[in-house]
Amino acid sequence: MLALDNLSKHFGGVRAVDAVDLTFREGEIFGLIGPNGSGKSTTVNLITGLYTPTTGTVMLDGHDLTQMAQHERTAMGVARTFQNIRLFGNLSVAQNLWVAQNGRTQRREHFMSRWFKAGGEHGPEIEDLLRFSRLHTKRDLPASALSFGEMRRLEMARALASNPRIVLLDEPAAGASLEDGQLLAERIRDIRERGVTVLLIEHMMELVMGISDRIAVLNFGRKIAEGTPAEVQANRDVRAAYLGSKHEDEELIHA
Ligand SMILES: Nc1ncnc2c1ncn2[C@@H]1O[C@H](COP(=O)(O)OP(=O)(O)OP(=O)(O)O)[C@@H](O)[C@H]1O
Ligand SMILES: [Mg+2]
């Protein structure tokens, strides 16, 4: 459904992403892994339109997104979470979802007056997302009062609030406990159950190997391997890339 063709992003001499071809199939969980600085977040930023590519195209079901603005891509069905959590800390959990559903481009004051006009009422979709993220008992708390794992769940629910076809999760388990990591795996499977395609960027190897249908590996901006979790784990180039990096997570090597 989503196809990256010859996609590159160069920052001066740094080839953050370098001639990458990737195709994501409808309804799959696709893992994108690689050592620190290998170009994973940059790839997400190219798909969502935060960055303009140096070369290449981003196509969604035959529609060329490459020149589209971020909000246009959101409207086409592309949603994301950020590696560094981005929530409105002063707004409640429910309000954060409401903002996501009603467009992020509005100024805060406009948003607040509309929220109060609506009497703080939110539709069934937000109720559904509150339950989905197991945050229904915390709906009126400010987002800043949530635990780290809860914030990550709210981020994910927020991405779903725009009713996407594909959601790009940039290290959703980063900083979360093992227990949160397990909950996360369930949530990611739930997202797929909803018919939403998932691109998962993750360093927690157990998580990404356990739930991905297919995985691609980046190293210095280039795709060095692609296949099933078993194929990728057995790949010599992948092992070399992880051994050569200072990355802490060496589970891949021992697997
Ligand atoms: N805005 C930018 N300006 C200059 N260089 C950048 C910019 N964004 C990323 N880079 C560089 O591009 C390369 C890829 O970075 P990127 O953030 O995509 O890596 P990553 O795979 O997401 O790493 P991590 O696992 O640490 O999150 C790095 O060398 C990084 O320093
Ligand atoms: Mg990153």
Distance, CA of 255 to CA of 251 (rounded, Å): 6
Residue 252 has pLDDT above 70, yes or no: no
pLDDT per residue as tens digits for the range 67-100: 999 989 999 999 998 877 888 999 999 999 988 8
Please report the pLDDT score of residue 211 as a whole number. Answer: 95
Distance, CA of 37 to CA of 68 (rounded, Å): 26
Task: Take atom 7 of ligand 1 and give the residue whose Cα is closest.
Answer: 11
What residues make up the domain containing 106?
Answer: 89-162
Q: Give me ligand 1 centre to Cα 41, in Å.
A: 7
Which ligand lies nearest to the CA atom of residue 218 in the structure? 1
Please report the pLDDT score of residue 8 as a whole number. Answer: 98
The number of folded domains in the chain is 2
One domain for residues 209 and 246: yes
Q: What average pLDDT does the segment 40-65 reach? A: 97
Distance, CA of 82 to CA of 28 (rounded, Å): 20
Sequence letter at residue 171:
E
Q: Give me ligand 1 centre to Cα 36, in Å.
A: 8
Decide whether any atom of ligand 1 lies within 6 Å of the 39 Cβ.
yes
Q: Is residue 104 part of a domain?
A: yes
Distance, CA of 37 to CA of 16 (rounded, Å): 8
Phi, psi of 67 (to 5 degrees): -100, 0
Of 245, 217, 252, 227, whose CA–CA distance to 20 is shortest? 217
One domain for residues 14 and 139: no
Residue 2 has pLDDT above 50, yes or no: yes
Residue 147 token pair: 């635990």
Q: What predicted TM-score, i.e. pTM, was given to this entire model?
A: 0.88
Q: Give me ligand 2 centre to Cα 113, in Å.
A: 36
Q: Give me ligand 1 centre to Cα 18, in Å.
A: 12
Of 146, 143, 98, whose CA–CA distance to 120 is shortest? 98
Q: Is residue 82 part of a domain?
A: no
Q: Is residue 189 part of a domain?
A: yes
One domain for residues 28 and 62: yes
Instruction: For residue 64, list its beta bridge partners.
Output: 59
One domain for residues 150 and 171: no
The residue out of 111, 129, 162 marking a domain boundary is 162
Confidence of residue 218 (pLDDT cuts 50, 70, 90): very high
Distance, CA of 212 to CA of 228 (rounded, Å): 8
Q: Please check whether residue 42 is in contact with residue 78, taking contact to mean a CB–CB distance below 8 angstroms.
A: no
One domain for residues 174 and 214: yes
Q: What average pLDDT does the segment 219-224 reach? A: 97
One domain for residues 168 and 73: yes
Decide whether any atom of ligand 1 lies within 6 Å of the 212 Cβ.
no
Q: Is residue 83 part of a domain?
A: no
One domain for residues 142 and 173: no
Q: What average pLDDT does the segment 24-38 reach? A: 96
CATH number, domain containing residue 201: 3.40.50.300
Q: Please check whether residue 25 is in contact with residue 4, taking contact to mean a CB–CB distance below 8 angstroms.
A: no
pLDDT per residue as tens digits for the range 119-138: 656 678 889 999 988 999 99
One domain for residues 129 and 180: no
One domain for residues 169 and 250: yes
Decide whether any atom of ligand 1 lies within 6 Å of the 35 Cβ.
no
Placement of tokens 């109720």 in the chain: 127
- The answer for residues whose C-beta is within 8 angstroms of residue 5's C-beta and 6 or more apart is 21, 56, 57, 59
Q: Give me ligand 2 centre to Cα 213, in Å.
A: 21
Confidence of residue 234 (pLDDT cuts 50, 70, 90): very high
Which carries the bigger pLDDT value, residue 101 or residue 208? Answer: 208
Distance, CA of 240 to CA of 29 (rounded, Å): 25
Q: What is the chain's Cα-based Rg?
A: 18
Q: 217: burial class by Cβ within 10 Å (0-12, 13-18, 19+)?
A: buried
**Average pLDDT of the chain to the nearest whole number:** 88
Task: Take atom 25 of ligand 1 and give the residue whose Cα is closest.
Answer: 36
Q: 153: burial class by Cβ within 10 Å (0-12, 13-18, 19+)?
A: buried
The residue out of 162, 180, 195 marking a domain boundary is 162
Mutational pocket test of ligand 1: of 8, 9, 10, 14, the residue with most ligand atoms within 8 Å of the beta carbon = 14
